[in-house]
């Protein structure tokens, strides 16, 4: 047995003997944290599928932690001399609750759609209009982006969305409701991709005074289209199957409000690490970055040195084969901290889970699939999901923190890059 694992078993035995471990429904156990925070709790699940814990140590190692061992000790069975089980020791059930400002939450939810449309209109107001030298007069680009974002927010098909768009025109939010085919053409335009991407960051600016710690990660959004015919030889016979295509999203989010500060959408199977520098750099241009959390996929000399150069502390775990004798002084210093102050490191690193909560919120509210058929339209659709999510974060901050959002300064406009 590894010394570290034996130490975790010993700490688990101490927790089982001294702490109050409660059982929740569906085989989940609640274990109090031993870090000094009396309110902190971790959920441990032991089933046929395996052993799981929500603590940062298990999240980092994917191996049994002291909380898992504590539950195992609590669930021990006393065996009689004849080998039959006689008793089972369990503790009383405990229900864990978390504080929620329900009046503010309810106010944000009840008036969300109206506030969303007003904020979206203000956000799109300074989108520059491209020069047109010939052809029929085009619809304003700001109205097209507004309509496309509103369509994604509604989660309905473009044809059924037309009545909502006419209502928006009646309220003066747009000059004229476009045809649904015009929405399709807007989403399929490469020119609007950098504009939507910059609007995502712009929508996060009202929370600039709140967010100082950030987490980075990636996720995927599946296409509803069946593409990619391929053949598989199995049992001596050729079988033709279809697979779903998908879009990969790389994003940085604040760990307090879960607002996305920088984002890139790419084709599937792109690597995570190359997107670290541009996303963190873009975030640091608009926010005061003090800490950056990311998983092992972002562990590299360049990423650590870039984070430190931006005046922030990187909390990125090292891979199992990493050593502290590299040419990078920053790498060696942080490796020593990671090895000698593991508890302190994990306490900060655990905030990385907020980026997963951000992706989960986007998929839960706006769906985890994209309706568009072309790759450009799929990327734009995913970016619009992130834009809608950011506006919702601002709405909740308005209700809970009393902020008055402002997206633009005087004489400021957004240009495509």
Question: What's residue 414's pLDDT?
Answer: 67
pTM reported for the whole predicted model: 0.78
Residue 31 has φ and ψ, to the nearest 5°, of: -115, 125
Residue 37 has pLDDT above 80, yes or no: no
Express as a percent the part of the chain with pLDDT over 70: 85
The superfamily in CATH containing domain 193-401 is: Ribonuclease H-like superfamily/Ribonuclease H (3.30.420.10)
Between 84 and 12, name the one with better pLDDT. 12
Element (H, E) at 30: strand 28-32
Residue 13 pLDDT class (50, 70, 90 cuts): confident
Q: Please give the Cα distance from 207 to 204 (Å, whole number).
A: 6
Section 57-67 average pLDDT: 88
What is residue 149's predicted lDDT score, i.e. its pLDDT? 97
Report the range of poorest mean pLDDT among 276-290, 345-359, 403-417.
403-417
Separation of alpha carbons 32 and 389, rounded Å = 33
More confident residue, 395 or 61: 395
Least confident of 155-164, 200-209, 317-326: 317-326
Question: SS3 for 36?
Answer: coil
Encode pLDDT of 322-357 as tens digits: 888 888 899 999 999 998 888 889 888 989 989 999
Report pLDDT digits (tens) over 378-400.
999 999 999 999 999 999 999 99
pLDDT at 230: 42
53 contacts: CB under 8 Å, gap ≥ 6: 31, 42, 43, 44, 45, 64, 65, 67, 68
Q: Where do the domains of the chain lie?
A: 3-88, 193-401
Cβ neighbours around 75 below 10 Å, total? 16
From 206-210, 270-274, 344-348, the region with the lowest mean pLDDT: 344-348
Average pLDDT, rounded, for the chain: 85
What one-character-per-residue DSSP string does 327-365 give? S-HHHHHHHHHHHH-HHHHHHHHGGGHHHHHHHHHHHHH
Rounded average pLDDT over 188-193:
95
On the CB side of 292, how many CA atoms lie within 13 Å of its CA?
Answer: 32
Structure tokens at 395: 């709405």
Least confidently predicted of 136-140, 206-210, 252-256, 309-313:
136-140
Sign (positive or negative) of CA dihedral 386, 390, 392, 393: positive
The percent of residues above 90 in pLDDT, for the chain, comes to: 54
Instruction: Render 241-299 in DSSP notation, one character per residue.
Output: EEEEEEEEEEEEEETTT--EEEEEEEETT--SGGGHHHHHHHHHHHS---EEE--GGG-
């Amino acid at each position: 047995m590894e010394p570290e694992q034996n130490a975790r078993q010993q700490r688990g035995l101490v927790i089982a003997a001294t702490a109050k471990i409660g059982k929740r429904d569906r085989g989940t156990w609640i274990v109090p944290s031993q870090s000094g925070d009396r309110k902190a709790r971790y959920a441990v699940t032991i089933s046929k599928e395996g052993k799981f814990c929500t603590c940062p140590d298990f999240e980092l190692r994917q191996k049994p932690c002291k909380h898992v061992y504590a539950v195992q000790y609590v669930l021990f069975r006393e065996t009689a001399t004849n080998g039959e089980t006689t008793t089972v020791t369990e503790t009383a059930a405990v229900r864990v609750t978390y504080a929620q400002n329900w009046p503010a939450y309810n106010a944000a939810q009840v008036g969300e759609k109206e506030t969303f449309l007003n904020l979206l209109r203000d956000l799109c107001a300074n989108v520059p209009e491209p020069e047109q030298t010939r052809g029929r007069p085009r619809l304003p680009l700001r109205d097209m982006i507004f309509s496309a974002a509103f369509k994604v927010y509604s989660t309905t098909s473009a044809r059924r969305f037309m009545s909502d768009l006419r209502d928006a025109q009646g309220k003066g939010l747009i000059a004229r409701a476009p045809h649904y085919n015009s929405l399709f053409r807007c989403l399929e335009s490469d020119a609007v991709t950098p504009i939507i991407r910059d609007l995502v960051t712009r929508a996060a600016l009202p929370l600039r005074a709140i967010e100082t710690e950030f987490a980075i990660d990636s996720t995927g959004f599946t296409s509803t289209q069946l593409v990619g015919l391929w053949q598989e030889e199995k049992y001596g016979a050729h079988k033709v199957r279809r697979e779903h295509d998908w879009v990969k999203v790389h994003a940085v989010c604040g760990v307090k409000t879960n607002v996305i500060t920088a984002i890139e959408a790419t084709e599937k199977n792109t690597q995570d690490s190359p997107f670290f520098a541009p996303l963190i750099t873009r975030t640091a241009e608009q926010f005061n970055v003090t800490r950056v959390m990311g998983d092992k996929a972002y562990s590299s000399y360049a990423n650590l040195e870039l984070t430190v150069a931006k005046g922030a502390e990187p909390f990125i775990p090292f891979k199992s084969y990493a050593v502290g004798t590299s040419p990078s002084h920053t790498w060696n210093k942080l490796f020593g901290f990671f090895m000698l102050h593991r508890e302190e490191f994990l306490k900060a690193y655990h905030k990385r889970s907020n980026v997963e909560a951000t992706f989960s919120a986007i998929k839960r509210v706006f769906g985890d699939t994209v309706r568009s058929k072309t790759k450009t339209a799929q990327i734009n659709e995913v970016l619009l999901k992130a834009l809608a999510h950011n506006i919702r974060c601002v709405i909740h901050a308005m209700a809970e923190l009393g902020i008055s959002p402002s997206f633009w300064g005087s004489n400021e406009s957004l240009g495509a890059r």
